[in-house]
Amino acid sequence: DTAVSQTPKYLVTQMGNDKSIKCEQNLGHDTMYWYKQDSKKFLKIMFSYNNKELIINETVPNRFSPKSPDKAHLNLHINSLELGDSAVYFCASSQLQGTNSPLHFGNGTRLTVT
Amino acid sequence: QQPVQSPQAVILREGEDAVINCSSSKALYSVHWYRQKHGEAPVFLMILLKGGEQKGHEKISASFNEKKQQSSLYLTASQLSYSGTYFCGTGDRGSTLGRLYFGRGTQLTVWP
């Protein structure tokens, strides 16, 4: 059973398009995150949600809009895609809010903007 | 806020030991360690919360110094399966608004 699953695994699109990535977790966790990993493997937090409520927005451009319909799902919609958005996007979840609880990552979505 | 990880890369033969360091200029609330294999998700290894804490089992363990500004990950008698990129993540505060900031990673390669 996959704990944190995200779709699609690969996404290739052109500049200016809008795309979405979906994430679901079956761990019963209250907190979910989006992380971005660039080509140099730098992992950076983008958003965190706790029980459908936005907790952290780490100065991400407003072209990125997360949505959490329930605590098991956190989707990421990206408008007007730019070349610099190319990266691997990881969804993650944790049992507790804050930083004293391990992160469980999904397998990532590799976004390529051409 | 981003911790400094060293070294950037390590190459070992099976059976050799390695130490990866993670440091910050400020006291940390927590330190996480993750391993990421190529093309896969980062996988949680361990978390340290208290100054002076040591954790893990005999092959992979970690410490958190008393001042809570440095953590080290110890890999002993390395195996081929240890290859991957190791990340430390540091928590900046204990509140529910705490963020985890990751280091740049240490690429570990174990050869037979």
State the nearest Cα–Cα gap between B93 and chain A, in angstroms. 8
Nearest CB to B98 within list A40, A42, A98: A98
- How confident is the model at residue B95, as a pLDDT? 67
C-beta of residue B23 within 8 angstroms of C-beta of residue A90: no
pLDDT in tens, A75-109: 999 999 999 999 999 999 999 888 888 999 999 99
Per the CB < 8 Å rule, is A56 touching B99? yes
**pLDDT 10s per residue in chain B (112 long)?**
789 999 999 999 999 999 999 999 888 889 999 999 999 999 999 999 888 888 887 799 999 987 889 999 999 999 999 999 999 999 887 667 778 899 999 999 999 9
Q: Is the pLDDT of residue A48 over 70?
A: yes
- HEC profile for A65-105? EEEEEECCEEEEEECCCCHHHCEEEEEEEECCCCCCCCCEE
Preferred mutation among B29, B44, B49, B104 to probe A, highest tally of A CBs within 10 A: B44
